[in-house]
């Protein structure tokens, strides 16, 4: 099979930092690690022939390219909200893949039960308000018994970018950097295992879950669709578990701390924009000297 084309480096970098010396080696290594996780989560008797899989939040197709061999026997789809990435994929990688643009609103064009497998790598790790709508939508487009695999940020990533020590009992779905644009990585969302089991477990059975405890490790969950409809209200419903309220209060504390840290800068920039611009230029000049 001929080698697949590389995306422009700026689009590849949009989905994650890359080594300055060896960006493509780094890009491929991340893809290969994710492929090994997906492969390990597939049932023993899995055969790609005739299957339909969706890479939800495919970026510029890093993961799909890892499955070029399977694309000969299966339909491999990918969707993303980023038009330049999807435009590039449509011009360079279709065929063998089926890329399409989606919006931030949870609404896919496929019929109910269309896919056998959906994976989402580093997508729910950045999704704030619309997580339940998207989980419901992925549940809808999966066949009964279909498989959903997702990465999430747990103790390992908290050790790298979180605030203070990871306290499992005080973290549920914890959102920080809420307004950060996608062009620089999007918001950051952590999940604990108990919270995922409580909320996502209302629509899916957990086949396996690894929270990812080593620094910078991502968590990984393999789920199987439970048949029947599910509503966003049901997915979001706060349970009787006392950790739910503790986790919400903890997230509130973190958001207050973030606001206290950022507000003075925000006021400086909005009230004294010329001063801020002058400071910015002075800093750049100093860096160049
Ligand atoms: C960190 S990147 C990971 C990309 C890809 N999964 C990979 O591992 O190379 C997250 C991607 O999710 C996409 N995304 C965010 N919200 C989305 C949504 N609602 N629907 C589809 N894609 C989304 C972003 O545009 C971005 O390309």
Structural domains of the chain sorted by starting position, each given as residue range(s) with its CATH number in brackets: 9-245 (3.40.50.150)
The pLDDT value given to residue 1: 61
Q: What are the backbone angles phi and psi of residue 94, rounded to the nearest 5°? A: -120, 110
For residue 163, the model assigns a pLDDT of 83
CA of 120 to the centre of ligand 1 (A): 8
Tokens of 149: 């695999």
151 ligand 1 Cβ < 6 A? no
pLDDT in tens, 173-190: 999 999 888 878 789 999
- Which of 149, 165, 147, 245 minimizes the C-alpha distance to 213? 165
Ligand 1 atom nearest the C-alpha of 185 is 1
For residue 86 and ligand 1, the question of a CB distance below 6 A is answered with no
pLDDT of residue 112: 98
Q: Where are the alpha helices (DSSP H) in 131-192?
A: 131-141, 155-161
DSSP labels for 215-283? TTPPEEEEEEEPSS---HHHHH---S-HHHHHHHHHHHHHHHHHHHHHHHHHHHHHH-HHHHHHHHHHH
Question: How many other C-beta atoms are found inside a 10 Å radius of the C-beta of residue 44?
Answer: 4
How does the average pLDDT of the chain come out, rounded?
93
* Residue of 9, 12, 29, 59 to mutate, ligand 1, most atoms within 8 A of C-beta: 59
pTM of the full structure = 0.92
Spatial CA neighbour of 97 closest among 70, 124, 128: 70
């Amino acid at each position: 099979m001929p080698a697949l084309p590389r995306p422009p480096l700026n689009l590849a970098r949009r989905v994650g930092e890359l080594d300055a010396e060896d960006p493509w080696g780094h890009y491929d290594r991340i893809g290969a690690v994710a492929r090994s996780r997906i492969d390990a989560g597939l049932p023993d008797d899995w055969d790609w022939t005739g299957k339909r899989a969706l890479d939800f939040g495919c970026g510029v197709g890093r993961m799909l390219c890892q499955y070029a061999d399977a694309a000969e026997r299966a339909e491999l789809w990918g969707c993303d909200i980023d038009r330049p990435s999807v435009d590039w994929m449509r011009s360079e990688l279709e065929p063998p893949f089926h890329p399409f643009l989606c919006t931030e609103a949870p609404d896919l064009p496929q019929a109910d039960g269309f896919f056998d497998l959906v994976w989402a790598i580093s997508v729910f790790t950045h999704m704030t308000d619309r997580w339940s709508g998207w989980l419901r939508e992925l549940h809808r487009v999966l066949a009964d018994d279909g498989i959903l695999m997702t990465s999430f940020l747990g103790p390992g990533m908290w050790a790298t970018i979180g605030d203070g020590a990871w306290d499992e009992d005080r973290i549920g779905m914890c959102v920080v950097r809420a307004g950060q644009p996608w062009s620089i990585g999007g918001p950051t969302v952590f999940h604990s295992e108990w919270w995922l089991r409580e909320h996502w477990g209302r629509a899916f059975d957990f086949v396996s879950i690894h929270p990812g405890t080593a620094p910078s490790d991502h968590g990984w969950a393999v789920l199987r669709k439970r048949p029947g409809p599910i509503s966003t209200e049901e997915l979001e419903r706060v349970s009787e578990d006392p950790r739910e309220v503790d986790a919400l209060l903890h997230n509130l504390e973190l958001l207050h701390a973030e606001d206290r840290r950022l507000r003075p800068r925000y006021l400086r920039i909005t009230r004294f924009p010329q001063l801020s611009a002058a400071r910015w230029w002075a800093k750049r000049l100093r860096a160049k000297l």
